[in-house]
A and B are shown apart, each in its own frame.
Chain A
Amino acid sequence: MRRRTALAAAATAVAALIAGCGGGGGDGGAAPGEPVTLKFLSLAWQKESISANKQLVDEWNTANPDIQVEYVQGSWDNVNDQLVTSFEAGDPPDVIHDDSPALAGFASRGYLLDLSGRLPAELKNDIPQAAWDTVTFDDGRGGTGVYGVPFLQESQVVIANKKLLDAAKVRIPTPADPWTWDEFAEISKKLTKDGTYGVAWPMKSPVNKVLNLALNFGGTFFSNEGGKTTVKVGPQEREVLQRIHDQLYRDKTADPSALGMGTADPLPGFYAGKYALLPAGVYLRQQVVEQAPDGFEWITLPPLKGTTSEQGATSQTLSVPADGRHPDEAVKFISFFLNGPNQAKLARGDWLLPTSRAAAGDPSMTTEENGWDVATASAGNLVVAPYLKVNGFDEWKSKVATPTLQEYFADKISLDDAARRLVEEGDKVLERYAR
């Protein structure tokens, strides 16, 4: 995290300097009649996903000799630093793959093209409003705009050891009748025996996970009154925090040694039967399919239900730079790249959920194999994550929320202390961004 912060600081400083030196500017585009070449910065990194991306680009290039697309692979690890320098140097890629949290900052600085009014109706209508909400941001001039096309989303499901569930004779939940958090707690107790913990909560990066799940009980963690955003940790926000803590220290059904782990780290223990249930993003199924030992039986369970099954969501996005040389051609390419059938291919490659309604109906998205049916159904519970629209969220997350939640889950501070820190220290951070 420190390295990322340092990188971001460096990139921003460099960007400021370049701006001071005067932008480079492009070459003005291709001459009339000459084919246009678009640079497409993709962040696909899974083998299947890279292959799906390249295949779609090849398809497009064959069908559109006048608009050729050059596939360039970036990395999630440093894409935003790379983009800031590119924007300021006046040479950004023509089509940019990123995620919605990053778009907010880029949009307010005027780096991205407002796509409202530019997208074909077919694409607009194929993606639900809840997904469009994740890419609609202030334009920095008092208005709002749509700064990307959302195409892949992630929900939190529960990946379970099927044999242990069967042995404990517990009810297998369905999307129509999911486990409630109470039921989940009871079942975790049943599954905790003979050296097996019911559940593992990897909380190395707890903030987004907790905030997304908190919506199960209506917890938003932020409120906005009179245009001023403040942190709130009331009864609704405390529910999920308290329930996870109870599993760790009261029920002792969650393995405390998993707390410091990253998302994928509990998998070896999961395969070895150390934990029966693993709350995780839907993409983790790919790792299970690739790594699980022969004969290991697993199942994807639908999201847990509190007062609702709603979860906060962000999106992976494709955007067009504001000062791009070929915005119309870029929009045409995006419209092709993210049509229903193509979104299904991209979603399969990344093991994520397509925003396209047509893609969600693709047979490969509704098959029982590898839990696709459950995963795809969970997309219906996704609503825009409240923190997505909060200026200063990144700093609140890294400086206040992450250490506070880690200490709380490590049982070093009480829930009251955690709540007080989240609010008091958090409000100071947000106040700076409101000026």
Chain B
Amino acid sequence: MRRALSYLALLGYLVFLAFPLIWLLSTALKTPQEMASLDPAWLPRRPTLANFADAFAEQDLVGSALRSLVVATASAVITVVLALPAAYALARHRGAVNRIAIGWVLVSQVFPVILIIIPLFMVLRRFDLVNTLPGLTFVHVTFTLPFALWMLQGYVRAVPRELEEAAAVDGAAKATSIVKIVAPLLAPGVVATLLFAFISSWNEFLFALVVLKDPDIATLPLTLVKFTGAEGVVRLGPLAAASLLATIPSLVFFAAIQRRLKSGLMAGAVKG
């Protein structure tokens, strides 16, 4: 009985999570008449691909998606590369300075992005990075780095210090124990952080709007907004079709690396 209830709750949660995606798919396949019906149906009565055709014909979706992919991948990798050693140092070396550093990282998260964008823009101007994809990547890294650092240092802390001490007792150098003991155990954390950084960058709109002035190098969120018109009127069909396509790379990326998100690697590593 308890198991049945668990599955029921899980099913409810799945439906809750999947609903927007299913509705997006359904909308993307509907005709304008059906979208304007007072009795919306789950399944399109007369499915059409016209919305996809319009979306592709009118906007450079492929180019925008490629640019988003480049920026998001670069942002995710750079973020993790920068955050990982810092997270290790923060987690392993306890002291007043580290506690202040962690606190400061947390505080940085409560700043409104509107405030962050100004100094970032000054820096970008200085280095001629305004209106460039490297500039946007730089901004996205800056934006995601604090939280990535916070996430990763939690994962590092979860790796028992005793494992490194045991390796040291067995004669392993510090570098060896980090590479061979700690790094494999941190893999799920690294994957989760990569995912977080990738999706944050992929979906990001405000920084892209300010940094990328030239619509020719627009990322996907900036292109999607072109299906909206004045006074809140939107072209729902092409927008749904394009938005659906925009979710696919995130899903593929997630599917490709989610197997690494397994837990329990450290179960029984240290006897209590």
Contacts and interface: CB of A to CB of B under 8 A. Distances in A.
B114 A17 contact: no
Interface string B39-81: 0000000000000001000110000000000000000000000
B255 interface: no
B210 A45 contact: no
A271 B118 CA distance: 48
Contacts of B254: none
Interface stretch (A135-143, A190-198, A259-267, A410-418): A259-267
The residue in B59, B121, B231 that gathers the most chain A C-beta atoms within 10 A of its C-beta is B231
B235 A45 contact: yes
B228 A75 contact: yes
A14 B117 contact: yes
Contacts of A267: 36
Interface stretch (A3-11, A210-218, A250-258, A328-336): A3-11
A75 B233 contact: no
B213 A46 contact: no
A75 B121 CA distance: 22
B161 interface: no
A74 interface: yes
B227 A291 contact: no
A89 interface: yes
B213 to A, nearest CB: 6
B232 interface: yes
A41 B33 CA distance: 32
Nearest to B205: A78
A78 B207 CA distance: 12
A97 to B, nearest CB: 12
B58 A50 contact: yes
A248 B111 CA distance: 44
A204 B231 CA distance: 10
A174 interface: no
A372 to B, nearest CB: 20
Contacts of A168: none
Contacts of A363: none
A18 B125 contact: yes
The residue in B117, B215, B227, B228 that gathers the most chain A C-beta atoms within 10 A of its C-beta is B215
B122 A81 contact: no
A350 to B, nearest CB: 9
B85 interface: no
Given A10-B210, A17-B118, A291 B230 contact: no
A293 interface: yes
B246 interface: no
A349 to B, nearest CB: 12
Contacts of A45: 226-230, 235
B215 to A, nearest CB: 5
B163 interface: no
Interface in B215-229: 215-216, 222, 225-229
Contacts of B233: 262-264, 287
Contacts of A11: 210
A45 B236 CA distance: 12
B228 A21 contact: no
A271 B32 CA distance: 13
B206 interface: yes
A368 B104 CA distance: 67
Contacts of A81: 209-210
Contact of A291 (B35, B117, B222): B35
B6 interface: no
B114 A269 contact: no
Contacts of B130: 89
A166 interface: no
Interface in B183-218: 206, 209-210, 213-216
A271 B114 contact: no
Interface of A: 6-7, 9-11, 13-14, 17-18, 21, 41, 45-47, 50, 72-78, 81-82, 85-86, 89, 91, 99, 204-205, 262-264, 267-269, 271-272, 274, 281, 287, 290-294
- The 8 residue pairs across chains A and B that have the minimum distance between CB atoms: A291-B36, A272-B38, A45-B229, A76-B230, A291-B32, A290-B32, A268-B38, A262-B232
Interface of B: 32-33, 35-38, 54, 58-59, 114, 117-118, 121-122, 125-126, 130, 206, 209-210, 213-216, 222, 225-233, 235
Given A45-B227, A291-B35, 14 more contacts: A7-B206, A14-B121, A17-B122, A18-B121, A45-B228, A73-B59, A75-B222, A78-B225, A85-B213, A269-B38, A271-B36, A274-B38, A290-B32, A291-B36
21 contacts: A7-B209, A10-B206, A13-B114, A13-B118, A17-B122, A21-B125, A45-B229, A47-B235, A73-B226, A75-B228, A78-B225, A82-B209, A85-B213, A89-B213, A205-B232, A262-B231, A262-B232, A264-B232, A269-B38, A291-B36, A292-B33
